[in-house]
Structure 1
Amino acid sequence: MFTAINAANAYSTARNAVAPGSSEGVVDKVSDAASGFAQQMSQVDSVATGAMTGKVETHQLVQTIAEAELAMETVVAIRDKVVEAYQEILRMPV
């Protein structure tokens, strides 16, 4: 079932992806986060197909969609922070 623990884990993963001072480069972190998001969306597609063919139960479909929604909200929040930082840089006097 979709719980607050899942949300906390997703937040923790996203936070680590953009944490300063780690040995991994930012590009690698963003690439890993993007591939994780793509994997989550692929899982939603396969579960939805399974639900339509009767191979997957409805509650599994609902859980997968809820997890995908959380992943999408995390991606949008990260995108918003990047855009906000870029706009701040543009406003800096030269």
Structure 2
Amino acid sequence: MSTVSFNAYTALNTTRPADGAQSAGKADAAKNPVAEGISDFRTAMQQAEQSTMQTAVAGADPHAMVAALANAELMLDAAVTIRDKVVEAYQELLRMPV
């Protein structure tokens, strides 16, 4: 079996603001519900991944893994639903006569 060095969170972490603008960006992110939602989504996915790895490698509590995976699944379903609604709204705008 080959080892794949792909990290699903790389795309979320690639663009970072400069150090000077980072503190101002964090203050804006605290007020922005979209940024909070993305942060919560990323945290849920990372917790599910860590819990799964700990259960597979160290034999950690499987109940914690199931709970983390269920939370990640709910977050993913919500993200997909929101994406679908945004795409649907965009398509409706394109269909409007000018």
What's the TM-score bracket when you normalise by the shorter of the two chains?
0.5 to 0.7
Structure 1's unaligned 5+ residue stretches are 1-23
Partner SS, residue 63 of structure 1: helix
1:65 and 2:30 matched: no
**Amino-acid identity (%):** 41
> Which of structure 1's runs of 4+ aligned residues deviate more than 4 A?
none
CA apart distance, 1:30: 1.5
1:49 and 2:44 matched: no
Work out the CA distance in 2 between the residues paired with 1:56 and 1:86. 45
Larger Rg: 2
Kindly tell me the number of residue pairs found equivalent between the two proteins: 69
CA apart distance, 1:55: 5.0
Structure 2's unaligned 5+ residue stretches are 1-27
Task: Name the structure, 1 or 2, with higher relative contact order (CA <8 Å, separation 6+).
Answer: 1
Of residues 62, 76, 83 in structure 2, which corresponds to 1:79? 83
